[in-house]
Amino acid sequence: MSAAETPTTERLSRERILDAATRIVDEEGPKGLSMRRLAQELDVWPMSVYRYFQDKAELVDAVVDRATADIGEQSTAGGSWKGRLRSLLRETRAALAAQPAEFRVRFTAADSSPAALRVTEAGLADLREGGFSQEAAGACWRALLAYTIGFAGLAEVDEDEFDRGLRVLLDGLEAELGAGD
Protein backbone atom coordinates (compact mmCIF):
# COMPACT_ATOMS: atom_id res chain seq x y z
CA MET A 1 0.00 0.00 0.00
CA SER A 2 2.89 2.36 0.71
CA ALA A 3 5.32 1.13 -1.94
CA ALA A 4 3.08 0.73 -4.99
CA GLU A 5 0.17 3.15 -4.82
CA THR A 6 -2.70 2.78 -7.22
CA PRO A 7 -4.12 6.30 -7.36
CA THR A 8 -7.87 6.47 -7.85
CA THR A 9 -7.36 9.48 -10.14
CA GLU A 10 -4.51 9.92 -12.58
CA ARG A 11 -1.81 12.49 -11.85
CA LEU A 12 -2.55 15.99 -13.07
CA SER A 13 -0.95 17.08 -16.35
CA ARG A 14 -1.41 19.68 -19.07
CA GLU A 15 -2.98 16.94 -21.18
CA ARG A 16 -5.58 16.02 -18.55
CA ILE A 17 -6.33 19.67 -17.81
CA LEU A 18 -6.87 20.44 -21.50
CA ASP A 19 -9.11 17.39 -21.86
CA ALA A 20 -11.27 18.59 -18.99
CA ALA A 21 -11.33 22.19 -20.25
CA THR A 22 -12.38 21.08 -23.73
CA ARG A 23 -15.10 18.88 -22.26
CA ILE A 24 -16.49 21.78 -20.21
CA VAL A 25 -16.49 24.13 -23.19
CA ASP A 26 -18.22 21.54 -25.36
CA GLU A 27 -20.90 20.80 -22.78
CA GLU A 28 -21.42 24.15 -21.07
CA GLY A 29 -20.09 26.71 -23.53
CA PRO A 30 -17.13 29.06 -23.26
CA LYS A 31 -18.63 31.00 -20.35
CA GLY A 32 -18.80 27.78 -18.36
CA LEU A 33 -15.04 27.46 -18.34
CA SER A 34 -13.70 28.94 -15.12
CA MET A 35 -10.60 28.00 -13.20
CA ARG A 36 -12.79 26.93 -10.30
CA ARG A 37 -15.17 24.89 -12.43
CA LEU A 38 -12.18 23.28 -14.14
CA ALA A 39 -10.62 22.33 -10.80
CA GLN A 40 -13.91 20.82 -9.69
CA GLU A 41 -14.11 18.77 -12.90
CA LEU A 42 -10.61 17.44 -12.19
CA ASP A 43 -11.38 16.87 -8.50
CA VAL A 44 -8.48 19.10 -7.54
CA TRP A 45 -7.89 22.30 -5.59
CA PRO A 46 -8.46 25.46 -7.66
CA MET A 47 -4.83 26.52 -7.36
CA SER A 48 -3.41 23.23 -8.63
CA VAL A 49 -4.10 24.17 -12.26
CA TYR A 50 -1.75 27.14 -11.85
CA ARG A 51 1.17 24.68 -11.62
CA TYR A 52 0.60 23.90 -15.31
CA PHE A 53 -0.74 27.16 -16.74
CA GLN A 54 0.36 30.61 -15.66
CA ASP A 55 -3.13 32.05 -15.87
CA LYS A 56 -6.50 31.57 -17.53
CA ALA A 57 -5.45 33.33 -20.74
CA GLU A 58 -2.64 30.83 -21.24
CA LEU A 59 -5.06 27.98 -20.63
CA VAL A 60 -7.55 29.25 -23.21
CA ASP A 61 -4.78 29.76 -25.75
CA ALA A 62 -3.69 26.15 -25.17
CA VAL A 63 -7.26 24.91 -25.66
CA VAL A 64 -7.50 26.75 -28.98
CA ASP A 65 -4.04 25.64 -30.03
CA ARG A 66 -4.89 22.01 -29.42
CA ALA A 67 -8.21 22.29 -31.25
CA THR A 68 -6.38 23.59 -34.31
CA ALA A 69 -3.19 21.57 -33.96
CA ASP A 70 -3.93 18.94 -36.60
CA ILE A 71 -4.92 21.32 -39.39
CA GLY A 72 -3.01 20.32 -42.52
CA GLU A 73 -2.20 16.81 -41.32
CA GLN A 74 -4.60 15.29 -43.85
CA SER A 75 -3.48 17.14 -46.90
CA THR A 76 0.28 17.49 -46.93
CA ALA A 77 0.43 14.67 -49.47
CA GLY A 78 0.28 14.83 -53.28
CA GLY A 79 -1.82 16.99 -55.62
CA SER A 80 -1.23 20.44 -57.04
CA TRP A 81 -0.09 23.32 -54.84
CA LYS A 82 -3.47 24.92 -55.37
CA GLY A 83 -5.33 21.80 -54.35
CA ARG A 84 -3.23 21.47 -51.21
CA LEU A 85 -3.73 25.12 -50.34
CA ARG A 86 -7.49 24.92 -50.75
CA SER A 87 -7.57 21.77 -48.67
CA LEU A 88 -5.51 23.49 -45.96
CA LEU A 89 -7.91 26.40 -45.81
CA ARG A 90 -10.98 24.16 -45.83
CA GLU A 91 -9.57 22.39 -42.80
CA THR A 92 -8.76 25.73 -41.16
CA ARG A 93 -12.30 26.99 -41.66
CA ALA A 94 -13.80 23.81 -40.26
CA ALA A 95 -11.56 23.79 -37.18
CA LEU A 96 -12.24 27.46 -36.43
CA ALA A 97 -15.98 27.18 -37.05
CA ALA A 98 -16.07 24.45 -34.39
CA GLN A 99 -14.65 26.87 -31.80
CA PRO A 100 -16.78 29.37 -29.90
CA ALA A 101 -16.42 32.90 -31.27
CA GLU A 102 -14.82 34.11 -28.03
CA PHE A 103 -12.01 31.59 -28.46
CA ARG A 104 -11.65 31.84 -32.24
CA VAL A 105 -10.11 35.32 -32.07
CA ARG A 106 -7.14 33.88 -30.17
CA PHE A 107 -6.05 31.99 -33.30
CA THR A 108 -5.01 35.21 -35.02
CA ALA A 109 -3.88 37.09 -31.93
CA ALA A 110 -0.74 39.22 -32.25
CA ASP A 111 1.20 36.49 -30.46
CA SER A 112 -0.05 33.71 -32.70
CA SER A 113 -0.44 30.15 -31.52
CA PRO A 114 2.05 27.49 -32.68
CA ALA A 115 -0.77 25.93 -34.68
CA ALA A 116 -1.47 29.21 -36.49
CA LEU A 117 2.20 29.66 -37.29
CA ARG A 118 2.42 26.15 -38.72
CA VAL A 119 -0.64 26.68 -40.90
CA THR A 120 0.81 29.95 -42.18
CA GLU A 121 4.14 28.33 -43.00
CA ALA A 122 2.40 25.52 -44.89
CA GLY A 123 0.30 28.02 -46.83
CA LEU A 124 3.26 30.19 -47.73
CA ALA A 125 5.22 27.14 -48.92
CA ASP A 126 2.36 26.20 -51.24
CA LEU A 127 2.19 29.73 -52.64
CA ARG A 128 5.95 29.89 -53.20
CA GLU A 129 5.67 26.61 -55.10
CA GLY A 130 2.94 28.25 -57.18
CA GLY A 131 5.42 30.88 -58.33
CA PHE A 132 4.59 33.75 -55.99
CA SER A 133 7.45 35.91 -54.82
CA GLN A 134 7.98 36.02 -51.08
CA GLU A 135 6.29 39.39 -50.80
CA ALA A 136 3.40 38.43 -53.08
CA ALA A 137 2.95 35.17 -51.19
CA GLY A 138 2.66 37.11 -47.92
CA ALA A 139 0.00 39.44 -49.26
CA CYS A 140 -1.84 36.58 -50.91
CA TRP A 141 -1.78 34.51 -47.74
CA ARG A 142 -3.22 37.32 -45.63
CA ALA A 143 -6.08 37.72 -48.10
CA LEU A 144 -6.83 33.99 -48.12
CA LEU A 145 -6.57 33.72 -44.35
CA ALA A 146 -8.80 36.75 -43.82
CA TYR A 147 -11.44 35.21 -46.07
CA THR A 148 -11.17 31.86 -44.28
CA ILE A 149 -11.34 33.22 -40.74
CA GLY A 150 -14.16 35.57 -41.68
CA PHE A 151 -16.14 32.72 -43.18
CA ALA A 152 -15.60 30.63 -40.06
CA GLY A 153 -17.52 33.28 -38.13
CA LEU A 154 -20.56 33.41 -40.40
CA ALA A 155 -23.73 31.62 -39.34
CA GLU A 156 -25.58 29.11 -41.53
CA VAL A 157 -22.46 28.32 -43.51
CA ASP A 158 -22.26 26.28 -46.70
CA GLU A 159 -19.02 24.37 -47.29
CA ASP A 160 -19.46 24.53 -51.07
CA GLU A 161 -20.07 28.25 -50.99
CA PHE A 162 -16.86 28.71 -49.02
CA ASP A 163 -14.98 26.67 -51.57
CA ARG A 164 -16.37 28.55 -54.58
CA GLY A 165 -15.38 31.90 -53.12
CA LEU A 166 -12.00 30.54 -52.15
CA ARG A 167 -11.35 29.36 -55.71
CA VAL A 168 -12.37 32.72 -57.12
CA LEU A 169 -10.08 34.54 -54.73
CA LEU A 170 -7.14 32.23 -55.28
CA ASP A 171 -7.42 32.23 -59.08
CA GLY A 172 -7.74 36.01 -59.08
CA LEU A 173 -4.71 36.45 -56.85
CA GLU A 174 -2.73 34.10 -59.04
CA ALA A 175 -3.63 36.07 -62.17
CA GLU A 176 -2.74 39.36 -60.47
CA LEU A 177 0.30 38.48 -58.42
CA GLY A 178 1.51 35.04 -59.46
CA ALA A 179 3.11 35.70 -62.83
CA GLY A 180 3.91 39.39 -63.27
CA ASP A 181 4.10 42.21 -60.73
Partner DNA sequence: ACCTGAACACCGTTCAAGT
Interface ranges with its own copies (CB under 8 A): 101-102, 104-105, 108-110, 139, 142-143, 145-151, 153-155, 161, 164-165, 168-169, 171-173, 176
Residue 162: partners with Cβ closer than 8 Å, 6 or more residues away? 90, 93, 148, 151
Amino acid symbol at 85 = L
Task: Specify whether the CB–CB gap between 93 and 152 falls below 8 A.
Answer: yes
Q: Nearest distance from residue 105's CB to DNA, in Å?
A: 17
Is residue 48 at the binding interface for DNA, with CB under 7 A as the rule?
yes
Task: Specify whether the CB–CB gap between 13 and 53 falls below 8 A.
Answer: no
For DNA, the binding residue among 14, 16, 46, 128 (CB under 7 A) is 46
Residue 151: partners with Cβ closer than 8 Å, 6 or more residues away? 93, 157, 162, 165
Q: Which is nearer to its own copies, 80 or 101 (CB)?
A: 101
Is residue 57 at the binding interface for DNA, with CB under 7 A as the rule?
yes
Q: Which is nearer to DNA, 17 or 127 (CB)?
A: 17
Is residue 22 at the binding interface for DNA, with CB under 7 A as the rule?
no
Alpha helices in the chain (DSSP H): 14-28, 35-42, 56-67, 81-97, 101-104, 114-129, 134-153, 159-173
Q: How many residues does the chain have?
A: 181
Q: Which is nearer to DNA, 23 or 142 (CB)?
A: 23
Q: Which is nearer to its own copies, 70 or 176 (CB)?
A: 176
**Residues 75-104: x where in contact with DNA by CB under 7 A, - otherwise, as a string:** ------------------------------
46 binds, among DNA, its own copies, none (CB under 5 to 8 A by kind): DNA
Handedness of CA 68, 99, 63, 55 (dihedral sign): positive
165 binds, among its own copies, DNA, none (CB under 5 to 8 A by kind): its own copies
d(CA 77, CA 69): 17
The footprint of DNA (CB under 7 A) covers: 33-37, 45-48, 50-51, 55-57
